[in-house]
Amino acid sequence: MKLAQLSLFIENKPGKLVAPCRVLANAGISIVTLSLADTGEFGILRLVVDRCDAARAALTEAGFVAQRTEVIALEVPDRPGGLAEVLTAIDSAGVSIEYMYAFTYGRDGRAILVFRFQDPDRAITALAGAGIGVVAPVAVGQVRE
Amino acid sequence: MTPPDPTAAEFHPASALDFLPRERLRELQLARLHQTVARSYGRVALTRQRMEARGVAPDDVRSLADLARLPFTTKVDLRDTYPFGLFASPMQEIVRLHASSGTTGKPIVVAYTREDVAVWSEVMARTFAACGLHRGDIVQNAYGYGLFTGGLGAHNGIEELGATVIPISGGNTERQIMVLKDFGVTAFCSTPSYFLHLIERAEELGVDLRTLPLRAGIFGAEPWTDSMRRRIEARTALRAYDIYGLSEIIGPGVASECAAQDGLHVFEDRFYPEIIDPETGEVLLEGAEGELVLTTLSKQAMPMVRYRTRDITTLITEPCPCGRTLRRMRRVGRRSDDMLIIRGVNVYPSQIEAALLEVEGTLPHYQLVLDRENGLDRLSVEVEVTPEVFSDEVRVLEGLRARLAHAIEHTVGIRVGVRLVEPHTIDRSQGKANRVVDRRRKDP
């Protein structure tokens, strides 16, 4: 199952990260997890939130460039070697990863990996073949809008 | 291309002046120049004072080259004599006033006698004829009607030509598209940026402009580029022509492209062009690039002697394949008052605009920041990220940044830094002037 993620352009300057977070706070949106990719001058803030479309509307209204992107979330055992097993399966399937990040979400002993693949559908097939499950949106607190 | 046959039904008699032998044209120019200088000297206090201060009298103008001895007129002069200080006719003879919105405070007011209006109609008819229009054409005129010279200037020209004018004025794009479709419109007049907007709206509404009889677009009133022309022509079946004019001289109708679409023929029998060095005011050799200076040769209500347009162009003296003997001016892309000197190189914001447009397809909000480090000027261009160009991936944005920098460096010839910034972070309140932030002046 694919997961909706919001990507946001921000400048790499003091105070720039707080502004979109305030917009989300005022709209009553809860952030499930986030990751920040940065260069010297700008960054891309990637957010998984409970209500993606509402968050995007609020951010666009506030003047941000916010794009909805589809990512894939995988659940893995939170123990040494857990990530390596998944990456081995992806690697042997010959699927390219654009970027990834990880978080734990209220589940004992499990971690969630978020991937952006060049070819998401091929990645899902390859992962299913290796017996690795994909996390559904509701499992990380995203609600239907 | 062969010159038009003057006996053909489509040939408008006013266009005959476009094909005068050069010697005849020069005689006409000199005779009219004498009248203009005498009129302005005799009736406009500012001209007389300036000429007296230089020790020149109207009789000293014996050849067209002697024009260089006369003082310039500038936009500031129009502002200082607001509203009617440069008029050469009493109000009893003036039948029309127009005004152009100044960038600061008071507008500039211009006046026309009945004869001036007739001349204006004539040069606009010649403009439309040069763009291939004639009786039977249905022309939708989307220039604004009102104080702005564009609407009524084009209107009179279309009627003078004998074509059919639809005086729709600007705005209300959906109605424009409906009229375009339902009235069998063959030619459209507006600013090029408005027409691009109309194309987009038509595409959204599912109207294919290529299936309509529309075959000519007469675009002006703002600088535009050949890449905009290509975009307009690729998405429609029309040919996009550039026209040039300014209220201070007459309005639209100073110069127009022809079927060759390679430079704008100046209606030289009415407006005499010179090219000067904007720094020194010296008249430049033929073919050199510089600021266009215009002298009206038959205006009654408001003759202009050596008006500095601030527009940068080149005069082309080579014959045009269309057969017109009128010299052509290159498309105006920039103005001398916008010019920046960076490390000794002349840079115009419009060059940077053209590069941004080329890469992104539409013009993003941008700002030029100049500063000086270790005695060296540095130019950085801040460009707002739009939803169209944004990507979730760093390498795509870095690629965009590199393409923008490359395109700008290629155009202006100096190294620039490009910074991508968040939307709505560049100040829009003060228009174009704010596009440049020059921090070098604070540098000791």
* Per-residue pLDDT tens digits of chain A, which is 145 residues long: 688 999 999 998 888 899 999 999 999 999 999 999 988 889 999 999 999 999 999 999 998 999 999 898 888 888 888 888 888 888 888 888 999 999 887 767 788 889 998 888 888 888 888 777 777 777 777 877 7
**Confidence (pLDDT) at B444:** 42
CB contact under 8 A, B394 and A39: yes
Return the domain boundaries, chain A. Answer: 2-69, 71-139
ipTM: 0.85
CA atoms within 13 A on the CB side of B293: 21
Could you say which of B387, B393, B419 has the minimum Cβ distance to residue A41?
B419
Judge whether A46 and A37 are in contact, CB under 8 Å: yes
Judge whether B307 and B249 are in contact, CB under 8 Å: yes
DSSP string, B119-159: HHHHHHHHHHHHTT--TT-EEEE-SPPSSSHHHHHHHHHHH
CATH code assigned to A2-69:
3.30.2130.10
With contacts defined as CB-CB under 8 Å, which chain A residues touch B391?
67
pLDDT digit string (tens) for B10-56?
789 999 999 999 999 999 999 999 999 999 999 999 999 999 999 99
CA distance B202 to B182: 14
CATH number 3.40.50.720 is the correct assignment for the domain at A71-139:
no
* Residue B373's pLDDT band (cuts 50, 70, 90): confident
B325-345: average pLDDT:
83
Q: Which of A2, A9, A59, A68 is the best mutation test for B, with the most CBs of B within 10 A? A: A9
| More confident of the two residues B7 and B50 | B50
For the cut 50, the answer to whether the pLDDT of residue B443 exceeds it is no
**Confidence (pLDDT) at B441:** 62
Task: For residue B121, give every residue at least 6 positions away whose Cβ sits within 8 Å of its Cβ, in sequence order, or none.
Answer: B156, B157, B159, B160
Neighbour tally for B347: CB within 10 Å: 25
Percentage of residues of chain B with pLDDT beyond 70: 94
Q: Which of B391, B392, B393 is the best mutation test for A, with the most CBs of A within 10 A? A: B392
With contacts defined as CB-CB under 8 Å, which chain B residues touch A39?
394, 398
Go through the domains of chain B in sequence order and give each one's CATH number: 96-336 (3.40.50.12780), 339-442 (3.30.300.30)
* Residue B341's pLDDT band (cuts 50, 70, 90): confident
Q: Do domains A2-69 and A71-139 have the same CATH topology?
A: yes
Q: For residue B193, which of B308, B353, B383 has the smallest C-alpha distance?
A: B353
CB contact under 8 A, A39 and B398: yes
Could you say which of B387, B393, B422 has the minimum Cβ distance to residue A11?
B422
Among A34-38, A55-59, B406-410, B421-425, name the one with the lowest average pLDDT.
B421-425
**Confidence (pLDDT) at B4:** 60
